[in-house]
Amino acid sequence: MTHFLKPYERSWLMLGSKSTPMHLGALLIFKLPARGAKSYISNLITMLRAQNTVVAPWNYTLVKGLRPSWSETAEVDLDYHVRHIALPEPGGERELGGLVSRLHSHTLDMQRPLWECHLIEGLSDGRFALFIKMHHSLTDTSGFIRLLTSWLSPSKSAQLSAAPWATPSAADINHDSWTQPLIENALNPKQALQSGLAMGGAFTRLLRSSARPGLKRPYQAPRSPLNVKIGPSRRLATQQYSLARLSTLAEASSSSLESLILYLCATALRRFFKEYNALPDAPLIAAVPRRPGSDNGATIELVSLASDIADPVRRLAAINQSYLAAKSHIAEVPDGLQWLYTGITAMPYLLGQLSGASAFVPAMFNISIHSEQGPEAAQYCNGAELLDLYPMFPLAQDGALSITCLYYAGDAHIGICGARETLPSLQRLALYMEQALIGLESILIDGETA
């Protein structure tokens, strides 16, 4: 069966290169079960490779041409796609981070289904990991998370017999629904007029963004150390917070949880760049992807990180105002056409990327920051508890950093992906995020002054 790629799926293929591999990544860390731990890894790798059927989108191969498409194949070489690696001693975070950084830097084989799974044993404290990567043209971030977790079980005693690639997908792989709003508008002149007026109104409000406090226009981001040419090597860092801790602080500051995550990123970046005397005078701008409602395709909300504001409380308030303004602005675009609206505003950015002239195009944003919802309850793989799940978003030229936050089992798991040559000290960002949170708690909870 053949499925033609949607426009935004094709864009991820076009953006891909050796220096900018466009795959999503995820690091899943499990705790070995108390019983049967010695044979657990060998049994798991056997199960992962012994699948008679591989389902969509894991069995998709790319058919190139004027109109690229996916073709479902019955022959997926699981010995190639599922790999077994052992960490060197002592199997700590440093060794794991170095290995996963290298794995995430390598491009996928475009002649095969566009995914890989690496089972990593030898972690300290009786743990093992899966690192899975999949090309962004196959799924978005939220769909990727569902693909990674739909095969697991909330029951510790459940015995799984199917791998993710043999489990019917919970991700959206409807290849036709994106055209439905366009067809409906074409067949209904009145609806087409209303949609056209609403789209025009949204662009007008965007151009007159000063009329709505906090709303940011595209291509107003300052040039920063993040907006440079990058190479293929990646460096990864992680951070984790209790949702209860974050929620308490969000309530105390009258801000949203998403705004608080943006604040932690902004404050860490402000400190990071001030140390190098490289902080722009204008505020950094974050691209916050979102998949709203029934819309088939992601939108991008542009949010000020208020990195020019020294006072922490005022910085958080400015970020929250900008976040809410961007969210309200996108909501005013007709449902089903929001992806088209985002595509139009992003066209100069895409043309700059594809032509290699991105350095000469005004920066649309400085950094991409995602927030995604994962399972609310702990998940298990044949008795092994999923402790951590860190997602990683790909990087494009003139975009050396992305941060993705996943809410899973009462915690916020944050994956930080940076270009290695541009950001060699990436782990400091994770440290500065923790210190930013402690500092804000001391002001808002303990009543200390900034």
The one-letter amino acid code at 28 reads L
**Strand spans (E) along 268-366:** 285-290, 299-304
CA 373, 378, 382, 384 torsion-angle sign: positive
Question: What values do phi and psi take at 129, rounded to 5?
Answer: -140, 155
CB neighbourhood size of 213 (10 A) = 11
Q: Given 136, 175, 329, 370, which residue is catalytic? A: 136
Q: What is the C-alpha to C-alpha distance for residues 410 and 247, in angstroms, rounded to an integer?
A: 11
β-strands 115-123, 82-86: how paired? parallel
| Cis omega (within 30 of 0) for bond into 334 | no
Q: Are 19 and 397 in contact (CB under 8 A)?
A: yes
Closest among 251, 268, 339, 270 to 298, alpha carbons compared: 339
Helices (H), 254-332: 257-275, 312-331
**CA 259 from centre of chain:** 16
Helix-helix angle 243-253:312-331, to 10 degrees: 90
Please state, in angstroms and rounded to a whole number, the distance separating the CA atoms of residues 173 and 57: 7
Per-residue burial over 323-333, b if 16 or more Cβ lie within 10 Å, else e, is: bbbbbebbeeb
- The secondary element (H helix, E strand) that includes residue 309 is none
Whether 136 is catalytic:
yes
In whole angstroms, give the CA distance from residue 222 to residue 283: 7
Catalytic residue IDs: 136
